[in-house]
Chains A and B, each alone.
Chain A
Amino acid sequence: MKTIDACGRACPEPVLMTKRALESSPEGVTVLADNAIAAANITRFAANAGFKLSQTEQLGIYTLTLTK
């Protein structure tokens, strides 16, 4: 599965990067983010777009996996 790195990006960039990645990989993507706000916005995006989401956080890096 494709992984994109949204660390260091301010909102709304992480959501836009996720949206664009899903357009080319509609089966799902993994997104890395470095703040809780980006993770919360990607969680909202996943729920609204009908993706399942799993999330882990380690040392301030959030790994969010969106799958159909």
Chain B
Amino acid sequence: MCATEAEGIRLSKMSSCGGCAAKIGPGVLKRMLADLPRSTDPALLIGTETSDDAAVYRISDDLALIQTVDFFPPMVDDPYTFGQIAAANALSDVYAMGGVPKLAINLLCFPVNTLPLTAVRAILQGGLDKVIEAGASLCGGHSIEDKEPKYGLAVTGFAHPSKILSNAAAREGDLLLFTKPLGSGILTTAAKAELLAPADYELLIRMLTTLNAKSQQSASAFDVHACTDVTGFGLVGHAGEMAQGSGKTIELWANELPIFPAALEFARMGIVPAGAYRNREYQEQTAYISPSIPLERTDVLFDPQTSGGLLFAIAEKDAPSLLHALQEHSEWARIIGQVCARGEKDIIVK
């Protein structure tokens, strides 16, 4: 029994909305950031313009620094597992840029009077274990007293400037590969409702705590054109950022998507997180969804993902070899779509 269970506390009930579903919706975020001035430092290779996963700063001709931060409220009850998921999610942004994480700093908010210190310690231990698994060093942190617990990391990584994978360089004809099953937002909502079967829960946690390190290592041997990780804005949102940044339209193939086995059934039951509706409302303006696709499958397209997989754009001729390399460690890797000439929409789902 974990410390919080012993105290009768359910971490996931301490916030209305956990994981990446707690992200501010894309529409509101865009309005918030619209008028803020952008950096003009020429060494800043990737800033805010293309809604990329992390900032990239050129230190020298051989070295670029990658900087990112991510934190959120719990979506699971076990504090150690929550720590692992939050850390895997934060580290992922460095992998999505083609880099290797080196330094991590804790960000922690928690209610000192209601959450036992053993639980807080377990959250930090979970995060630390993922940082160690990533080969990075945890080197400090900052903590704030708050009614709702929240945890995550600021992460610094490095890469050769020529190896940086932006989300804005997909080319016409590229195929898109994706590495983890979709529907984690739906399943964490089902878990919160205590409807998820143990085997489905075990698979969910295994996927959410899996670092994107191996997928990125596999991809580094190939001429990948663009990459992003799929998190709070869902597949349509993050693929849409890739389409916009690259000046292309992205076609997604609804029947080729890797999806958690239980996710479609829970979507049919109405166990769909609010974040999926917020994403849909905003993204439907720039996406065309074929009306022949069942509603629950479209829910998965907009479902906010926590610690989601990597989305790679690669030349069609190289895609089968990359798929093979990815499938050596992830049975969920699939080819899920193609980059097309720019049309009216960012995304077309067939």
Contacts and interface: CB of A to CB of B under 8 A. Distances in A.
A48 interface: yes
A49 B190 CA distance: 17
A42 B270 CA distance: 6
A51 to B, nearest CB: 12
Given A11-B189, A12-B190, A40 B277 contact: yes
B283 to A, nearest CB: 15
B17 A41 contact: no
Interface string A23-46: 000000000000011001111110
B295 interface: yes
A43 B270 contact: yes
A44 B189 CA distance: 15
A61 interface: no
B167 to A, nearest CB: 28
A48 B272 CA distance: 13
A15 B270 contact: yes
B147 to A, nearest CB: 15
B17 A10 contact: yes
A45 B270 contact: yes
Interface string B5-37: 000000000001100000000000000000000
Contact of B277 (A37, A45, A49): A37
A44 B17 contact: no
Interface residues of A, number: 16
Contact of A15 (B16, B17, B269): B269
B192 to A, nearest CB: 7
A2 B115 CA distance: 38
A56 B169 CA distance: 47
Nearest to A10: B16
Nearest to A15: B270
A5 B16 CA distance: 18
A11 B188 CA distance: 12
Contacts of B267: 44
15 contacts: A10-B16, A11-B272, A11-B274, A12-B270, A15-B271, A36-B277, A37-B277, A41-B271, A41-B272, A42-B270, A44-B268, A44-B272, A45-B269, A48-B269, A49-B269
Interface of B: 16-17, 189-190, 192-193, 267-274, 277, 295-296
Given A12-B193, A41-B270, A44-B296, 20 more contacts: A10-B16, A11-B271, A11-B272, A12-B192, A12-B271, A15-B271, A16-B193, A36-B277, A40-B270, A40-B277, A41-B272, A42-B270, A44-B267, A44-B269, A44-B270, A44-B295, A47-B268, A48-B268, A48-B269, A49-B269
